[in-house]
Structure 1
Amino acid sequence: MAQEGNGRYTAEVRWTTHGVAHVRADTWGDLGFGQGWACAHDHLPTIADQIVKVRSERARFHGGGPEGAHLASDLGYLALGVVARAEAFRAAQPPELQEMIAGYAAGLDAWREEAVATDALPAWCRGAEWIRPISELDLYAYMGDVALMGSGRNLVGIIGRAEAPGPDGPAPPAPLSALGRGNQEASNGWALGREATASGHGLVVANPHFPWTGEARFWECHLTLPGELDVYGVSLLGSPGVQMGFNRDVAWAHTFSKGHRFTLARLDLVPGRPTSYRHGDDEREMEPTTHAVEVLGDDGEVTRVERTLWRTHHGPMVNLPLLGWGTDTAFTYRDANLDNVEVVQQFLAMDRATSLDDLQARFAEVDGLPWVNTLASDRSGRVWYIDASATPALGAGAQERFRTRVAEDPVAALLFANRVALLDGSDPDDDWVERPGARSPGLVPHDELPQLERTDYVANANDSHWLANPSEPLVGYSVLHGFERVPQSLRTRQNHRVAADLVARGDVTVRSALEAVLDNASLSAELLRDEVLDRLDGVGEVEVDGTLVDVAAAAEVLRGWDGRADLTSVGAALWREVVAGFPEEAQRDGPDLFATPFDPDDPVATPAGLVPAPAEGADPVVGAVAGAVAALARAGVALDAPLGEVQWAQRGEARVPVHGGGEGEGVLNILAPIGALAGTDLEPGPPPLELQGDRTVRTGLRAGGYRCTYGTSFLMAVELTDDGPVAEGLLAYGQSGDPRSPHHVDGTRAYAAKETRPLLFTEEQIRADPELVERTVTGG
C-alpha cells in the first residue's frame, strides 16, 4: 500500500473493478477527505468548473459567453446568493457533517495540488487559470446549487438578464437558450416486497436516467467509518456522502419528481412604474440590487460590468424568453430549495438508517430532500414510496385557479409543458401558504406528502405520485405534487406492467430484476405495431417532400423486428421514427394515435388500439411511416440496419454500440441522444453531427444515427437478506471523466454487453477482487 503526502487528514482508498472507490477512515473528517480526493481524482475539472460557476466567475475566465450566457449566469448566481448563504449553510450542519464536508473540500484541493504538480489533468484544462484552490465555503455554495438542480440553477440565465424597462423601453427578452429547464427527466425506480421476491426479503432496483456528460453524473463509491457508517452507492460529482444506494439494512432508489420545486408569478405592473406591482389592493415596490462581475474581453483585458437586478416579495425578477419584462406585465420567481440547508443532512441520515421504520423516521425528522421521489425497502419485505421533494404549499382556491390556468391560458400551458408552474403574483390568494410543521415557510409539511407502504411493489418512472401502485392510487394531494388521474407515459405503463408481472411470478431475484430492466421490450410496438402493419398492407410508394419513399419495404422491416431496442434489433430505429411522426402528447393519450382513450380507472391498459383511418384524405399513420423512412434516408441510416450499427456512445476515442431506446418506444431502459436535464458544464465534447430537422428534437436523429448522451447511468439491484445485502449493477458511462482512463469506457462496454457486476460490500469481497489497488492518502 502506497502512502504519500502529509497533513491532518488520512484515509484509505481502495479501487476495485471498474475503478469503484472504497474509502475507509477513522474520523468523519478523514472520511470526507478520502471521498473528496478520490472523486476529484476522477472528475476534478468538472468539479472545479462548477465552483467557478457558483463563484460567479465564468465571465472572468471565459468571457461573456454565447449570447451573453456566462455574464448572465454570473449575475444570476449573485442574485440567488449561493455564495452569500454558504456561511449559514455551514453553521446549520451537525458537527460530524461539518467535519466531513471540511474534509471533502480538503480532499478536492489535495488532489488538485497533486494533479497540477504531476501534470495529471486532461489536456482541455491543463494549465487553466480557473483550476484554483477549492475552499470549504466553495463546497457549501456548490451544494446549495445542487439543491437547486430542479429549480433555480435552470433559471440563472433569465434572472441575470432581468433588467427593468428604462427610458428606451423594455430590455430584449432573454434568448430561448437562457431557460435551461427541460420536461422529460427520466428514471425508473422499483421497490419489490415479500410478495414478489423468491426470498421474501425486500429488493430495490435503481435505474436513474441522467446525462452522460457534465456535472450531473454519478460517481460510485463505498464509504466506511467503523461503528458509524457503512454505505455503498453513488453521489453526484462534488457531493459528500451517498445519495442513492444501500447499507446493510436498507436500500433506496430515487427518481426525478414530477412536482414543482418553484413557481413563477405573473405581476400586474403599476402604469408608468415598471418596478412597482399590484398585490391585491396594495402597490408594492421592487427592491433593486446592483451586482458587479468581471468579464474577460476578446482582447484579453478584464473589465467590470455592473447590472441592477430586482426582487419582489416573492423573489428575484426574471426575463422570460419571448415575453421579457414589459411595462404592463412582468414575472418573478420563488424557490422551495433556496434555503434548503438540510439537504446533505437528509442524505447522510438515509445512509445511516437501520430499518425501513428508521428511514421513515429520518425523513420526517430532517425533511430535506430537494427534488426526488424515493423508493425503499429492508429485509422485512415491506416497501415504501414517498415524494418528499420540497413543494410549495397553495390554498385550495389557488390550486383550482392553477388547474384552470393550465387548461385555458396559453402562456401558463406553455410554461407547464416545460415543467414551470405559473401563479398570479398580484393576487394574495395565490401566495404560498405557511403550514405548521413545514421545513420552511410556504412549503408542504411532511405529514401532507404523498407516500405509500405495501408488500408487493411500488414504482415510479417520473409521472406523478398518483400511481406508485395502481392498486392503491394516491389522490387528494397538492396540485404542485403533480396532476392525478391523468394519462401516464408509455414508460410508466411499462414499468407497472413489468413490476406487476414480477409480483405475479413471486420469484424475483437480483438477477431477474436486472434482466427485466434490460429487456428493452417496446410497449408502443406491442400496442400498435400489428395494426400499423395492417394499415400498410397494399401501400407501395408514398411521396414525402417531393420524393417517393417505399413504405412496403418499411413494412417488411417492421414485420421482422423483434420488438426490442437491443443491439441486434433490426427495425428499432424505424419504429422510433414512426412514433415520432405523432405529437408527443399523443403518445400518452389523444385521438391522433390511439383508438381507445385513456381511462383513469384503468390507467395501465389505456389508451390502446390504433386510431382508425380517416374516411377521406391522407392517412396519418401511413404518413408517419413514410416520414420515418424519409428521415432515416436523409440521415444515411438503412432501414434494415441493426440498432447497434446506428446507435452508439462516444467515450473518448472509442465508439461503443449501445442498446436502449426513447420515450416513444415505451422501453424501460432509456438511452438517447437527447435528455432534458440541462447541463451547465463547459467540458468539451465531440464535434456536433448534422441536424435532421424536427427529428432531432423528437428522437435525436442526426447524420449517421443516434449518438447517445443521456439515459441509464447507475444501474443497481440490491436485496436485503439476513446475511447482508446482495447487489449487482454497473455505472454505464464509466467512473472517470478523463478520456485517458480505462474507467472512462469500461462501464460502457459492460453496459453494452449487459454484463452487470457484483457491488462489493464486505471486506472479504473487496479483498478478493482481482483488480484491487490500494493507497493511503493524506493532506489538508
Structure 2
Amino acid sequence: MKHWKRWQWVLFWVLAVTGGTAVVLLAYAYWPATPNLNHLTNLGEQYNVQILRDQWGVPHVFGQTDADTAFGFGYAHAEDDFLTIQQTLAAARGMLAQIEGPDAAPVDYILHLLRVRELVAERYETDLSPEVRAVLQGYADGLNYYAALHPDKAFPGLYPVSGEDIVAGFVQRTPLFFGLDNTLTNLFKEERQEEISPRTAFFLPGKELNFSAAFSRYTWLAGNAASPIAYGSNAFAVSPARSANGETFLAINSHQPWEGPVAWYEAHLHSEEGWDTVGGTFPGAPLILVGHNRDVGWGFTVNRPDLIDVFVLEINPDNPNQYRFDGEWRDLEVREVPIRVKLLGRLTWTVKQEVLWSVYGPTVRQPHGTYAIRYGSMGDIRHVEAWFRLNKARNFEEWRAAMGMGAIPMFHAVYADKEGNIYYLYNGRIPRRSEHYNWQLYLPGNTSETLWTDYYSIDELPQVLNPTSGFVQSANSTPFIATFDPENPDPADFSPAMGIESRISNRSLRLLELFGADEAITAEDFYAYKYDMFYSTESAVPQWIAQLAAANLPDDPDLRQAVDMLQRWDLQTNPENSEAALFVLMMEAIDRNDLAHFSVDALTNTEIPTETLVAGLTEAVATLKSHFGRLDVPWSEVNRLRRGTVDLGVGGGPDILHAVYGRLEEDGRLRGVAGDSYVLLVTWDAQGNVHSQSIHQYGSATLVEDSPHYADQAALFVAREMKPVWMDEQVIRENLEQAYRPGEERP
C-alpha cells in the first residue's frame, strides 16, 4: 500500500508537470508574436517621396530619385495588399511552410532544389546595375517601413527584407509561368510519366501534362498561369496605317486570377530621373510589368515554347550518388536542407530533405528513376533589370534592346509607341537543341549531346514589325497568325526543337475577323472590339453544337429543349443572352469532371466525343433546372462578379475577348475568378500625345475590406466602362483623394 501511495504521488507530479508543460506550449503556440521592428522606423527619413491617391484610390508615386519612388511604391502597395506581398516574400525566403504549415513545404523545398538563394547571392552585385539595386532596396525598405509601423500585421522573422529577397521572388516564380510546377509534379508521381526519346531525326507530338495537387501551393505562386488550363490574355495594336485619324492604339489585357499573388494592381510611378510609367504589377514587384510611359507601351500574353527538359540519369549500380556522363561516372552534389514546418500556432518542426545537383542542373531521386531538370533562363537573375529598362525606354530601339537581353524568358509581346510603330514578338529564352531528339519526351542524361548551353537570340524568334496591314495581335495563339498574311512569320523558318505551339484561340479568330473587316479603325471601334462577346463561327463551338443536334439523346424533354436552344444560339455571351448559360455550364461541367482534355482559353480545333458533350449538357440542364427552374436564364443571372457585399451580373465568357472564367458555386451561379481583370487601352494621337483609360475588376484596395476602393470599380467593370488614367501631376491633383508621405496618417 505504501508503494502504491508513493506511485500515486509520482503520477500526480508527472501529470502536473506534463499538464503544465502542455499549457505552456499551447500558450506559446497561440499567444500573438509581434516582432520588434523599432530599428526600421527611421527609414522614412532616408527617402524623398509623396503618394498621391486619386479618386479611385490608385497610387501615383512621385519621388525625387528612382529609389525614392520605389520606396513609396513599396509602402503604398503594402497599404493595399500586405498579406499577399508577405506571402510571396516568405516563399522567396524559404520560410512559407514555417508560416502556413505542411501544404507549403513544397514551395520551400523547390527554392532549395533550384538553388535560388545561392544564385541570387552570387550574382546580385555583378549582374544587376547600381540603379536597379537601388530601386530594389528602395522597394524593400518601403515594405520594411510599413512593417515597422504596423508590427501587428508583420510576419515574425521576415524583416528586414532586402533587394535580394525581391530578386529571389522573381527567380523563383518565373519558371512557373512556363510550367515548371507541372514538370515537377509528374516527376513525383508513382510511375515515370514519359518515355525516353531515342536518338532520331524526327519529332513526335508532345503530350499535355496533367495537373496534380502535390505542388498546389507552389503553383499558387503563379496563379492560373501555371496551370495546364491557362486563362489566356489579349494584347493587340493598330498603327496609323489602319486607324481612321492617324492614331496608334494599344490594348493591354492580360487575363489573370482576380485574387492572389499574380492578381493585377494598378500604379503610376514617377521620378525626377525619368521614370514615368503607369500600368499593372504583381505583389512583390517593384515596377510596372505591363503598361506605358509617354513614349512606348507594351503588353504580354502567355506563350508556350518548350523551355523545360527532363533528363533520365544512368545511376552507378555500385554508388547511388554517381551518374554516367560521356562514358565516365560523375558525383552528384548531395545536400540535406532544413525546412521548418508550422505544426500548431508558433510551434514548428524542422525536417531534412535531400536536394541533388548534376551537370544538367536540379536533380530529384525517385523509385522509378533519377531525373535532372534544365530550363530556359536557369541561372539568370536579371528579370527586374530588363523590366526596369522597359519602364524607362523612350523608343523602339531601347525597348527592344531590353527584350533582347533574354532576361524575360517567355511571353508573346505586343508593343506600340508615339511614333506609330507596332511590333509583335514571340519572346522566349529558347534553348538551341540538337534536332536528333524529341524534346517533348524525357531525354537520355548520359551524353553531352543533350546538354544544351546556348539560346536563340531575339533576331531568331518569330516577330512582326510595322506590317502594312497596320495590325498585330496575340491571344495565346501560334505566332504564325500575329497579323494578316503574307506578313506573318513562316513556320518553316523555325526549328521544331523550339517547341512553338500551333494552337489558335477563339479570341485570335475574332481579332482577325474584326480587324480584318475594318481598314479605318476609330477609337470607338477599338474599344468595341476589345469587348466583343462572340464565339467565332470558325471555332469548335458550332461543331460541338452540331454533334449534340445529331446525337441519339436520352428520352428527356429538358435535354431536347436544351439542344434546340443551342441550335438557335447566336454564339454571343452578352448579359441578356438566354442560351449562353447552357453552353458555358456544359463546358464547365466537362472541365470540372475531367471528362475531356481541352483548354478553356482555346476553344478551337478541339475534338470532344459526343457522349462527353451530352454528359456535360445533362449536368448543365440539371444545374439550371435545380437553381432557376428553367433553361432560358439570362446569362448575367448565372455569371457573377462577387466581392464582399457586391454581387453583379457580368457578360463575356471563356475564350471570349471579354474574357470571364467562373467557378461553380452552391447556388448554381458561376463566380468570376479570372479573365479580364486589369484592362488598359492606350492611344497616341497623330501628334504623339498619349491618353489611356483603364479598369480593374474590383478596385485598388486589394485586401482592405472597409476601404471605399475595395470594389468601387466593379460596377464600371460589368458595364464594360472604363476610367481615365492620369499622368500629369496637376490633373492628378485635380482628381485627388489623398496626398501624404509614407508614415503620415492618411487624411
The alignment's TM-score, normalised by the length of structure 1, stands at 0.77
Distance 1:97 1:388 in 2: 23
Residue in structure 2 matched with residue 522 of structure 1 by the alignment: 535
CA shift in 2, pair 1:343/1:638, >3 Å:
farther
Q: Retained in 2: the 8 A contact 1:569–1:643?
A: yes
Distance 1:459 1:197 in 2: 15
Q: Retained in 2: the 8 A contact 1:10–1:777?
A: no
Residue in structure 1 matched with residue 293 of structure 2 by the alignment: 247
CA shift in 2, pair 1:746/1:156, >3 Å:
farther
Residue in structure 2 matched with residue 78 of structure 1 by the alignment: 112
Amino acid of the residue matched to residue 210 of structure 1? Q
Distance 1:100 1:644 in 2: 44
Amino acid of the residue matched to residue 508 of structure 1? T
CA shift in 2, pair 1:361/1:137, >3 Å:
closer
1:719 equivalent among 649, 659, 683: 683
CA shift in 2, pair 1:59/1:777, >3 Å:
closer
Residue in structure 2 matched with residue 495 of structure 1 by the alignment: 511
CA shift in 2, pair 1:624/1:12, >3 Å:
closer
Distance 2:607 2:275 in 1: 54
Residue in structure 1 matched with residue 500 of structure 2 by the alignment: 483
Q: How far apart are 1:652 and its partner, in Å?
A: 2.6
SS of the residue corresponding to residue 375 of structure 1 reads: strand
1:772 aligns with 2:737: yes
Distance 1:535 1:290 in 2: 56
Residue in structure 1 matched with residue 462 of structure 2 by the alignment: 450
Residue in structure 2 matched with residue 51 of structure 1 by the alignment: 89
1:424 aligns with 2:439: no
1:668 aligns with 2:657: yes
Q: How far apart are 1:276 and its partner, in Å?
A: 3.7
Alignment of 1:676-695 (within 5 A): 689=665
SS of the residue corresponding to residue 116 of structure 2 reads: coil
Rg comparison, structure with higher value: 2
Q: Retained in 2: the 8 A contact 1:394–1:478?
A: no
Q: How far apart are 1:229 and its partner, in Å?
A: 1.8
Q: How far apart are 1:273 and its partner, in Å?
A: 4.9
Q: Retained in 1: the 8 A contact 2:677–2:696?
A: yes
1:348 aligns with 2:313: no
Residue in structure 1 matched with residue 19 of structure 2 by the alignment: none
Q: Retained in 2: the 8 A contact 1:316–1:334?
A: yes
Q: How far apart are 1:214 and its partner, in Å?
A: 0.9
SS of the residue corresponding to residue 377 of structure 2 reads: coil
1:658 aligns with 2:650: yes
Alignment of 1:154-553 (within 5 A): 154=181, 176-178=213-215, 180=219, 181-185=226-230, 186-271=232-317, 273-298=319-344, 301-318=347-364, 325-326=366-367, 329-364=369-404, 366-398=405-437, 401-402=438-439, 406=440, 412=441, 422-432=442-452, 434=453, 442-455=454-467, 456-471=470-485, 472-474=487-489, 475=491, 476-479=493-496, 481-483=498-500, 486-501=502-517, 504-509=518-523, 511-523=524-536, 529=542, 532=545, 536=549, 542-543=554-555, 548-553=556-561
Distance 1:758 1:624 in 2: 42
Residue in structure 2 matched with residue 168 of structure 1 by the alignment: none
Q: Retained in 1: the 8 A contact 2:571–2:580?
A: yes
SS of the residue corresponding to residue 83 of structure 1 reads: helix
SS of the residue corresponding to residue 716 of structure 1 reads: strand
Q: Retained in 1: the 8 A contact 2:358–2:372?
A: yes
CA shift in 2, pair 1:765/1:423, >3 Å:
farther
Q: Retained in 2: the 8 A contact 1:163–1:307?
A: no
Deviations 1:60-87 (A, max 9, x none): 223323xxxx223222212222223333
Return 488-497 or 146-155, whichever deviates more.
146-155
Q: How far apart are 1:619 and its partner, in Å?
A: 7.8
Distance 2:540 2:426 in 1: 30
Distance 1:645 1:457 in 2: 36
Distance 1:513 1:222 in 2: 24
Amino acid of the residue matched to residue 141 of structure 2? A
Residue in structure 2 matched with residue 140 of structure 1 by the alignment: 167
Deviations 1:29-51 (A, max 9, x none): 21111111111111111011111
Deviations 1:317-368 (A, max 9, x none): 247xxxxx235x332211323322221121111112222233223333x332
Deviations 1:542-589 (A, max 9, x none): 25xxxx352332245336645322222211111224456684559432
Alignment of 1:559-708 (within 5 A): 561-578=569-586, 583-585=596-598, 587-589=603-605, 625-626=617-618, 628-630=620-622, 632-633=624-625, 638-663=630-655, 667-673=656-662, 689=665, 703-708=667-672
Amino acid of the residue matched to residue 578 of structure 2? V
SS of the residue corresponding to residue 761 of structure 1 reads: coil
Amino acid of the residue matched to residue 343 of structure 2? G
Q: Retained in 2: the 8 A contact 1:164–1:274?
A: no
Amino acid of the residue matched to residue 464 of structure 2? L
CA shift in 2, pair 1:115/1:152, >3 Å:
farther
Deviations 1:186-209 (A, max 9, x none): 101102112221232321111100
Distance 2:472 2:419 in 1: 15
Q: How far apart are 1:590 and its partner, in Å?
A: 5.7
Return 724-733 or 203-212, whichever deviates more.
724-733
Deviations 1:452-506 (A, max 9, x none): 112411111112322212413322224454436x4423233223223323xx331
SS of the residue corresponding to residue 714 of structure 2 reads: helix
Amino acid of the residue matched to residue 488 of structure 2? P
2:562 equivalent among 549, 554, 573: 554
CA shift in 2, pair 1:540/1:660, >3 Å:
same
Q: Retained in 2: the 8 A contact 1:232–1:246?
A: yes
The alignment's TM-score, normalised by the length of structure 2, stands at 0.80
Q: Retained in 2: the 8 A contact 1:647–1:658?
A: yes
CA shift in 2, pair 1:218/1:192, >3 Å:
same
RMSD: 3.5
Q: Retained in 1: the 8 A contact 2:509–2:538?
A: no
Report the count of equivalent residues: 661
Gaps (5+ residues) in structure 2? Answer: 1-41, 193-209, 220-225
CA shift in 2, pair 1:571/1:444, >3 Å:
same
Alignment of 1:29-68 (within 5 A): 29-65=67-103
Q: Retained in 1: the 8 A contact 2:544–2:608?
A: no
Q: Retained in 2: the 8 A contact 1:464–1:482?
A: no
Gaps (5+ residues) in structure 1? Answer: 120-125, 166-172, 320-324, 407-411, 413-421, 435-441, 594-617, 675-687, 691-702
CA shift in 2, pair 1:298/1:393, >3 Å:
same
CA shift in 2, pair 1:289/1:156, >3 Å:
farther
Amino acid of the residue matched to residue 64 of structure 2? D
Amino acid of the residue matched to residue 729 of structure 2? E
1:13 equivalent among 47, 51, 74: 51
Distance 1:284 1:254 in 2: 41
